[in-house]
Amino acid sequence: MSKKEIDERTHILKDYAYHYYVLDQPKVPDEEYDRLLRELEELEARFPEHRHEDSPTGRIGGEPLDQFRKVRHDVPMMSLSNAFNADELRDFDRRVRDGISGTPVYSCELKIDGLAVTLKYEKGSFVLGATRGDGQTGEDITHNLRTIGSIPLKLKEPVTLEVRGEAFMPKKSFERLNKAKAEREEALFANPRNAAAGSLRQLDPKIAADRHLDIFIYGIGSSPDKDFDSHHEALNYVRNLGFKTNREAARLESIDEVIDYCEKWVDKRADLPYEIDGIVVKVDAIEDQQQLGFTAKSPRWATAYKFPAEEVVTTLRTIELSV
């Protein structure tokens, strides 16, 4: 029975992941995907002999599309572990404390619901932009990323570095786009995340340029010219180079404050001009991050607190627009 259950869930989740990551057309709401993935993780932990080698529980994202040049990431682009409630945030805090010598300080950031991208600069010039893909290999989408006004083509200093961020479609652009699609009787995008991903994975950069995308940079992939003591310091550095970072980030000193921050945003997120699907909690000190390290899929020094999805609202809006 356990084997049949694992086989079934693996098969369904692989199909959902393909539609979400490769086709940018999710078949089910994220909550449903996350619930099934959790169930599969629990079954695999109990019956490891039945786990598939290519199980979605151990994979990041999807295969890069063939029509784009493939880009091998020098530093892998990882996923994040999830916490769905306060107890799971406390479990994360316990694991962090067990893994470091001091007391952790957390950097809390809005989890922007878009598409992870990496941007490479050589001597201050933007030379390459790519998707996360499967974490090891992404797609070269430089031509489309160049159309995003908030991506600097020249930095304020001639440095060589790689930054990581979330490209997204603001709510207003998404509504405008789906309204125009409805008028032309074209299929609508399910949500701004899929609209952003669909816009950036186009061969013609005019399409991305028309869709008013934006970006927040949330970290550094590599910076051979400069070391940092904390994540917070790294974010200040990239902001000073000319990148757009999110102003709502906060440095917090206890897990209770982290939980308050997460709860505050459950209600406040509706007021933002872009979609967020949670809060990313990161251990701030780089030394602590190094002590904690990584699993095969995600850093042990960060987790994503996930809100209940807003898909229901989006579906209603989609129906409204399509009639």
Cα angle 204-111-296, degrees, rounded to a multiple of 5: 90
Cα angle 40-44-50, degrees, rounded to a multiple of 5: 115
Binding mask 293-312 for ligand NAD (x = CB under 6 A): -----------x--------
32 annotated as belonging to a binding site for a ligand: yes
Q: Which of 112, 196, 200, 213 is close enough to bind ligand NAD by CB under 6 A? A: 112
What is the smallest separation between the CB atom of 215 and ligand NAD, expressed in angstroms?
Answer: 11
56: which residues sit within 8 A by CB, 6+ positions away? 10, 13, 14, 17, 37, 40
User: Which residues does residue 215 pair with via DSSP β-bridges, in sequence order?
Assistant: 167
Rule CB under 6 A: is residue 17 a binding residue for ligand NAD?
A: yes
What is the smallest separation between the CB atom of 45 and ligand NAD, expressed in angstroms?
Answer: 19
Burial 90-103 (b: 16+ CB within 10 A, else e): eebbeebeeebeee
How many other CB atoms are there within 10 angstroms of residue 129's CB atom?
Answer: 25
Q: Segment near ligand NAD (CB under 6 A), from 24-32, 146-154, 200-208, 283-291?
A: 24-32
What separation in angstroms does the CA of 243 have from each of 43, 109, 151, 163, 164?
43, 16, 7, 9, 11
Catalytic residue status for 206 = no
Number of residues that bind ligand NAD (CB under 6 A): 24
Rule CB under 6 A: is residue 22 a binding residue for ligand NAD?
A: no
- Restricting to residues 200-229, which ones interact with ligand NAD according to CB under 6 A? 218
Rule CB under 6 A: is residue 258 a binding residue for ligand NAD?
A: no
Q: Amino acid identity, residue 135?
A: G
Rule CB under 6 A: is residue 60 a binding residue for ligand NAD?
A: yes
Q: Segment near ligand NAD (CB under 6 A), from 27-35, 140-148, 171-179, 228-236?
A: 27-35
109 annotated as belonging to a binding site for a ligand: yes
Tokens of 170: 């603001």
By the 8 A CB rule, do 202 and 208 touch?
yes
Q: Segment near ligand NAD (CB under 6 A), from 85-93, 110-118, 223-231, 285-293?
A: 110-118
Indicate the angle between helix axes 311-322 and 171-183, nearest 10 degrees: 30
Positions at the binding site for NAD(+): 30-34, 79-80, 109, 132, 166, 282, 306
Query: Which parts are annotated binding residues?
Result: 30-34, 79-80, 109, 132, 166, 282, 306
**Active-site positions?**
111
